Amino acid sequence: MASITIPNIVSEEEKVGMGVRPYTNTKLTLGGTTTSYNATLMFDNNTAGGAEFFMLATDNTWSAGADKFIMGHGSPSSSNSDLEIDGDGYIHMARNRLSVGNGYHASTGKRGVRVGRTVYNWFNYGRNDGHNYLHIKTNLNFGASTNSQPTMSLFHIKGYTYSAQTIDSMVGFHNWSGQPYQIRYTNNGSATSVVSSSYPPYGSSDGKVVLVLNIGNNYPGVSIDHHQAYEYTWVDVEVSAYSKTASTNGVY
Partner 1 sequence: MEEYTAEEALQLVRDLVFPQAVNGETVQQFGHWFIMENDQWEHTEEIPE
Binding site for partner 1 (CB under 8 A): 141, 145-150, 174, 176-177, 179, 181-182, 207, 231-234
Three-state DSSP class for 78?
A: helix
List Cα–Cα distances, 176 to 61, 110, 183, in angstroms: 57, 23, 12
Widest CA span in the chain: 76
Question: Is the dihedral angle over the CA atoms 121, 127, 129, 132 positive or is it negative?
Answer: positive
Of 38 and 179, CB closest to partner 1? 179
Of 112 and 143, CB closest to partner 1? 143
What minimum distance in Å lies between the beta carbon of 116 and partner 1?
15
What minimum distance in Å lies between the beta carbon of 109 and partner 1?
19
Other C-beta atoms within 10 Å of 152: how many?
17
What minimum distance in Å lies between the beta carbon of 90 and partner 1?
22
What minimum distance in Å lies between the beta carbon of 52 and partner 1?
40
Of 60 and 233, CB closest to partner 1? 233
Distance CA 86, CA 67 (A): 6
Of 162 and 234, CB closest to partner 1? 234
Distance CA 44, CA 48 (A): 12
Spacing of C-alpha 141 from chain mean position: 21
What minimum distance in Å lies between the beta carbon of 151 and partner 1?
11
List Cα–Cα distances, 84 to 49, 66, 70, 185, 250, in angstroms: 25, 11, 4, 42, 48
Of 13 and 231, CB closest to partner 1? 231
Distance CA 229, CA 16 (A): 47
Of 191 and 209, CB closest to partner 1? 209
What minimum distance in Å lies between the beta carbon of 141 and partner 1?
6
58-62 CB contacts, 8 Å cutoff, 24+ apart: 59/35, 60/35, 61/35, 61/36, 62/36
Of 182 and 192, CB closest to partner 1? 182
Q: By the 8 A CB rule, do 127 and 242 touch?
A: no
What minimum distance in Å lies between the beta carbon of 20 and partner 1?
35
